[in-house]
Structure 1
Amino acid sequence: MNSNDSGSAAAATPEACLPLIDGLAVRPFPETVFQDAIGDGGPDHLIRVLHRSRDFWDAEDPQVWEQVDAELSACLDALIAVCTARWGDPLVVDLWAGYGDGAGEDVPEPLCTLSQVTTSMYAWLLPGGDRWLGLALGQADKELPMELLAAVGLSAALDGVRDGGSADGA
């Protein structure tokens, strides 16, 4: 994980994030549920924070947040381009419509966790067909850090969105 307390997300570069994404894509799922400072996981998923910005408790100037958002969005866009070149067009998963509205359905991980911090993610089916990789920007609350996130889950977790559920064309 990269963190920069100045409010700038300059350390969030595709060059720094790609090795983390590549490692996550092939890493075995853990046998038990865990959570640590840079993510969480379980028998069917992994989530990693690729970059975490400063927090915004004392950021009264909205330009601070806007600068961090712009820099992390640019890094996300670059990562999306690399992943699209590797694996084709992504699914754009609307996490709010399907999961974040508190409908009470059993939501598979990591979609449940991601829906608590972001409204959408880009996802690609990985070679082999049993896993997918997703990328998103998240922020649990306006005072908390913004996070560039990568997630890997079982393909079955995306069955609803692949079958016309909460996805957009990209």
Structure 2
Amino acid sequence: MTTDSGTPPTGPKASLALIDDVLALPFPAGEESEDSGVRSSGPGHHLLIVRAGQDFWDDASTETVEASEDEIEAEFSAVATALTERWGEPETVDLWPYLAEEASPVPEPLGQLSNLAGSMQLWRPPADAPGAGGRWLGLTVGQADPEFPIWLLAAVGDASTLPV
């Protein structure tokens, strides 16, 4: 989907459409994994970069970083509000404990998310939501490294990948 100028649409409606698409997307079979650079998928999960700010390789000034943070946070807020209107109040999931977990493997996408963000908002869509039966949806803002863009991330996981 592109605009008349050939660029992908942006804004909360476009972000929600991307989230709806990944929520309905089947998980890869078996131990198969996929990574397109924008979406990674594996058994029982998808992780999507919904929106990326600019990178900070050439300009990491406070003003530039804050402007990018504000832009991504505004998108997060608008998308989170729309998801809350659909499915009710989200749960806040602390991701830090998954980062420190060394004794046993961390289920994905929680392992990836814990390297990018400290917490996420989590919704458990009702079973009758299109494509969402038995899945959870997480939304967070994260960054891989100070020079990298700030990302609005959506994670979809099979209910069994989220500890109770």
TM-score of the two chains, using structure 1 as the length reference:
0.82
Q: Distance in 2 between matches of 1:40 and 1:146?
A: 17
- Whether 2:57 is the aligned partner of 1:53: answer no
State the shift of 1:12 in Å.
4.8
Alignment partner of 1:24 out of 17, 22, 25: 22
In structure 2, the gaps of 5 or more residues are: 1-8, 128-132
Question: How big is the alpha-carbon RMSD for the aligned residues of Structure 1 and Structure 2?
Answer: 1.7
Cα contact 1:100–1:119 (8 A) shared by 2:
no
Which residue in the other structure is 1:155 paired with? 159
Give the number of equivalent residue pairs: 150
Could you give the per-residue CA deviations for residues 35-74 of structure 1, whole angstroms, max 9, x where no partner exists? 1121201120001111112210121421101011011101
Which residue in the other structure is 1:143 paired with? 147
Q: Distance in 1 between matches of 2:17 and 2:63?
A: 30
Which residue in the other structure is 2:41 paired with? 41
Cα contact 1:84–1:90 (8 A) shared by 2:
yes
Which residue in the other structure is 2:120 paired with? 121
SS of residue paired to 1:159: coil
In structure 1, the gaps of 5 or more residues are: 1-10, 161-170
SS of residue paired to 2:162: helix
Give the ranges of 4+ consecutive aligned residues of structure 1 lying more than 6 Å apart after TM superposition.
none
TM-score of the two chains, using structure 2 as the length reference:
0.85
Q: What letter matches 1:52 in structure 2?
A: A
1:43-122 equivalences under 5 Å are 43-96=43-96, 98-122=97-121
Q: What letter matches 2:62 in structure 1?
A: P
State the shift of 1:159 in Å.
2.5
Could you give the per-residue CA deviations for residues 111-163 of structure 1, whole angstroms, max 9, x where no partner exists? 01111111111111122251001111110111111111111001122233xxx
